[in-house]
């Protein structure tokens, strides 16, 4: 009780070492200004009491937050594939890349009710920058903030006239790749499973269309606007299969999740893949290689995506006004096509 040993701050440690707080601060920062002997003595003392200087106080003084906000906007109509393996993968990559740069990751899912959701976190001073995972239907809000707030990047589509910086894959190109592949496989009749309300999906569909037109099969495409969640995709597709007279022999699913549901629905209808129908997905999620049969798909490289997001963000934190980045999608051929 007399002398309760716990070192709670730099001043306690200073007293213990018989020096001033300032010296301790510099010693722990390994500053050359402090004699090597003193420095090591203080560091050793800190280790003994496993004392670590308070990060918040440091950040306040230093005027940096030491954290990056990662926001997942959940606008309901396009808040589709949240809870996808997709997000966890990206998030994991981001966490690693940020840690490497000495920053923490402040995660928020936000349901954008009022337009203040974004500025609220930006202006709170808790974060040095913001990474948005998907722009949902909030392009307007994001663009507006981007005009006055530089350190922000978004994962997602790069729309014409867009103010904010984004990183995303070339969805149109992806659609083209998928379609071309199916054409090469000899398909003549096509279906696209996915809801083009989401801009990314619309782009994929556009690529698909363009490719078909170029192959002179512009009218051989049916569109099934299936919602992207696992729960709703299957019944929709199943019903569609019931009602369709001639099932197309080439199916492009707007995501692997949809493709997986399609796989099941087709199997239940006794349609063989890839025998009767060639199927291709999108994203190359971890499970895509484990379905029966393993899914052909279009890979979005989330790892380099994450690297770009973090890279751009830190350049923006440094004051640079970076341009958006569009990644190349890649065709992965497995056994469903």
Partner DNA sequence: TATAATGCAACAAACGATTGCATTAATCGT
Partner DNA sequence: ACGATTAATGCAATCGTTTGTTGCATTATA
The interface with DNA within residues 43-72 (CB under 7 A) comprises: 53-54, 57-58, 60-63
Among 20, 31, 214, 290, binds a copy of itself (CB under 8 A): 290
Can you name the residues that pair with 73 across neighbouring β-strands?
110
Strand 297-299 and strand 330-332: the pairing is antiparallel
Among 55, 140, 163, 197, binds a copy of itself (CB under 8 A): 55
Number of Cβ atoms within 10 Å of the Cβ of 28? 19
Rounded Cα distance, 264 and 2, in Å: 71
Eight-class DSSP state of 329: P
Q: Tell me, by CB under 7 A, how many residues bind DNA.
A: 30
The separation between the first and the last C-alpha atoms of the chain, rounded to the nearest angstrom, is 74
Rounded to a whole number of angstroms, the minimum distance from the CB of residue 131 to DNA is 24
Task: Assess 48 for contact with a copy of itself (CB under 8 A).
Answer: no
92: Cβ contacts below 8 Å, ≥ 6 apart: none
Q: How many Å separate Cα 54 from the centre of its chain?
A: 31
206, 207, 208, 209: CA torsion to nearest 10: 50
The interface with DNA within residues 7-46 (CB under 7 A) comprises: 8-11, 18-23, 25-26, 28-29, 32-39
Rounded to a whole number of angstroms, the minimum distance from the CB of residue 230 to a copy of itself is 5
Task: Assess 17 for contact with a copy of itself (CB under 8 A).
Answer: no
Which lies closer to a copy of itself via its Cβ, residue 98 or residue 298? 98
Task: Assess 29 for contact with a copy of itself (CB under 8 A).
Answer: no
160: Cβ contacts below 8 Å, ≥ 6 apart: none
Rounded Cα distance, 167 and 316, in Å: 14
Which lies closer to a copy of itself via its Cβ, residue 17 or residue 105? 105
Task: Assess 138 for contact with a copy of itself (CB under 8 A).
Answer: no
Residues making contact with DNA (CB under 7 A): 8-11, 18-23, 25-26, 28-29, 32-39, 53-54, 57-58, 60-63
Residues making contact with a copy of itself (CB under 8 A): 50-52, 54-57, 59-60, 65-67, 70, 82-85, 87-89, 91-92, 95-96, 99, 104-109, 116, 119-120, 123-126, 230, 234, 257, 260-261, 263-264, 267, 286-287, 289-292, 294
């Amino acid at each position: 009780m007399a002398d309760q040993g716990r070192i709670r701050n730099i001043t306690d440690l200073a007293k213990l070492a018989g020096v001033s707080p300032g010296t301790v601060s510099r010693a722990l920062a390994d500053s050359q200004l402090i004699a090597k002997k003193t420095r090591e003595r203080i560091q050793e003392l800190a280790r003994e009491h496993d004392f670590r200087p308070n990060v918040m106080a440091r950040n306040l003084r230093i005027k940096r937050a030491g954290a990056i906000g990662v926001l997942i906007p959940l606008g309901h109509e396009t808040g589709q594939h949240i809870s996808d393996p997709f997000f966890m993968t990206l998030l994991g990559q981001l966490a690693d890349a940020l840690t490497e740069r000495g920053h923490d990751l402040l995660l928020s899912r936000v349901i954008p009710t009022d337009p203040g959701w974004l500025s609220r976190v930006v202006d709170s001073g808790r974060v040095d920058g913001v990474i948005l995972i998907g722009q949902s239907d909030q392009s307007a809000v994001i663009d507006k903030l981007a005009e006055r707030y530089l350190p922000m990047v978004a994962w997602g589509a790069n729309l014409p006239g867009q103010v904010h910086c984004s990183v995303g894959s070339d969805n149109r190109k992806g659609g083209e790749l998928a379609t071309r592949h199916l054409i090469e496989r000899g398909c003549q009749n096509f279906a696209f499973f996915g809801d083009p309300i989401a801009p990314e999906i619309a782009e994929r569909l556009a690529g698909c269309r363009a490719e078909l037109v170029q192959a002179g099969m512009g009218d051989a495409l049916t569109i099934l606007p299936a919602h992207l969640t696992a729960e709703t995709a299957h019944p929709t597709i199943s019903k569609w299969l019931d009602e369709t007279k001639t099932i197309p022999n080439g199916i492009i699913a707007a995501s692997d999740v949809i493709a997986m549901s399609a796989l099941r629905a087709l199997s239940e209808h006794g349609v063989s893949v890839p025998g009767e129908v060639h199927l291709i997905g999108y994203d190359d999620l971890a499970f895509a290689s484990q379905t029966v049969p393993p899914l052909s798909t279009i890979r979005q490289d989330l790892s380099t995506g994450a690297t770009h997001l973090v890279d751009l963000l830190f350049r923006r934190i440094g004051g640079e006004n970076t341009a958006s980045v569009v990644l190349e999608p890649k065709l992965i051929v497995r056994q469903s096509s």
